[in-house]
Amino acid sequence: MGDIVEFKCIGAGKTDNPPYSQDGEWRIGLILGQKNKEDTPFHMISIYYRGIVVVSLAKNCCVIGE
Residue 1 has pLDDT above 80, yes or no: no
Number of structural domains in the chain: 1
Distance (Å, whole) CA 36 – CA 43: 5
| pLDDT attached to residue 38 | 78
Q: Quote the CA–CA distance of 49 and 53 in Å, as a whole number.
A: 6
Q: Which residue segment(s) compose the domain that 20 sits in?
A: 4-63
pLDDT band with cut points at 50, 70 and 90 for residue 65: confident
Instruction: Tell me if 10 sits within 8 A of 25, measured CB to CB.
Output: no
pLDDT digits (tens, 9 = 90+) for 6-54: 999 998 999 999 999 999 999 999 999 998 777 778 899 999 999 999 9
Residue 59 is predicted with a pLDDT of 94
pLDDT at 62 over 90: yes
Do residues 9 and 56 lie in contact, with contact meaning Cβ atoms separated by under 8 Å? yes
> Distance between CA atoms of 55 and 48, rounded to whole angstroms?
9
Per residue, the 3-state secondary structure of 35-53, as one string, reads ECCCCCCCCEEEEEECCEE
Predicted pLDDT of residue 22: 92
